[in-house]
Chains A and B, each alone.
Chain A
Amino acid sequence: MRTSDRDAEFTAFVTAQRARLLRAARLLAVGDEALAEDLVQTTLTKVYIAWPKVQRADDPVRYAHRMLTNAFIDETRRAYRGRERTEAQPADPATAVAEPADPTLRDTVMAALTGLAPQQRAVVVLRHWLDLDVEATAQALGCSTGTVKSTNSRALAHLRTALADVTDDLTTRSTS
């Protein structure tokens, strides 16, 4: 593959998908913006290296999200002190500082996600934010569908309790 083709395709992919990857990373990192940015950078670097493979995937976007989730799982297994920090900051600090539309809701949801184990958080993000089915989630995490179902079940039980302040009837679109 010519470098120019790879660059152009990758640039288009990143332009279209970076924001969504960052949002997924933000949920996985429970609001740690630096970690979320690190995860996205790590993921996109791997995406560039594996671009021909990513491009051939049935769904390159999901493929990238799988890589992101794996980067997150790897990160949780690594000692904090060994983690490399973000290489570059967003383009302009003045515009990069963003605020959630509902800070209270965000804090509550992030606190609820913090109470989940990393694997549970990954399942919640893949199943309920990215809308992957059980099989795709299992494939992404390298575990069995049974593990996904049980992990998801425990995670939802926790979230129903932790989010009681914002909703007394938490529903999901996905079936477990």
Chain B
Amino acid sequence: MTTTQVPLVDYLALGDKPHLVANECTSCGARFFDRRNACASCFATEFKKVDIATEGEVRSFTIVTFAAPGVPVPFVAAIVDCGGTSVRANVINCDPTPEKVTLGMKVRLATYSLGNDDNGAEAIGFGFEPIA
């Protein structure tokens, strides 16, 4: 039996080569990850899907040690520059310490299981891991 997989968010494309997909404004090129009504930059309403680079560099990060109930800590929240498109994600598969996580470090997209729901569907999350 094959398990159905669902992405944590719409903009995570699963399959052989998991990657993120943005809505790109066909008029000005601004990229967004959410459902759009219009472009925040130029107000146009036409968008096309574009694949985002799966490798990038950490432009900013924090190590969160206090979070809401049920959110496991510590975790590393970061902004990753993926070939000019900024992506919000956790840095994973890396010790959450300022010694291991550094500004400018090179990272790549990685996925992991968030577990199965009552129907047996498996949710897949993503983060960025250091490129060794």
- Do A and B form a real pair? no
